[in-house]
Amino acid sequence: MHELGLMFEVIKTVGRIAEAEGVTEVQQITLQVGELSLVIPSYLEDCFPAAIDRKPMFAHTKLEIETVPGMARCDRCGTEFNVVLHEGYCPSCKSFDKTILSGREFVIKEIIAG
pTM: 0.90
How many Cα neighbours within 13 Å face the side chain of 71? 8
Report if residue 85 sits inside a domain.
no
CB 61 within 8 A of CB 24: no
47 is in an annotated binding site: no
* Average pLDDT, 10 consecutive residues per value, the chain (114 residues): 93 98 97 98 98 97 98 99 97 98 98 94
Query: What is the signed CA dihedral for 39, 5, 49, 59, rounded to 10 degrees?
Result: -120
Check residue 79 and give its pLDDT. 99
60 is in an annotated binding site: no
CATH of the domain at 64: 3.30.2320.50
Q: Is residue 18 within a helix (H) or strand (E), and if so which, with residue range?
A: helix 3-20
CB 22 within 8 A of CB 109: no
Which burial class, exposed, middle or buried, applies to 71 when counting CB atoms under 10 A from its CB (0-12, 13-18, 19+)?
A: buried
**How many separate helices (H) and strands (E) can be counted in the chain?**
2, 6
Check residue 87 and give its pLDDT. 96
Check residue 8 and give its pLDDT. 98
Residue 42 structural domain: 3-69+102-113
Report if residue 87 sits inside a domain.
no
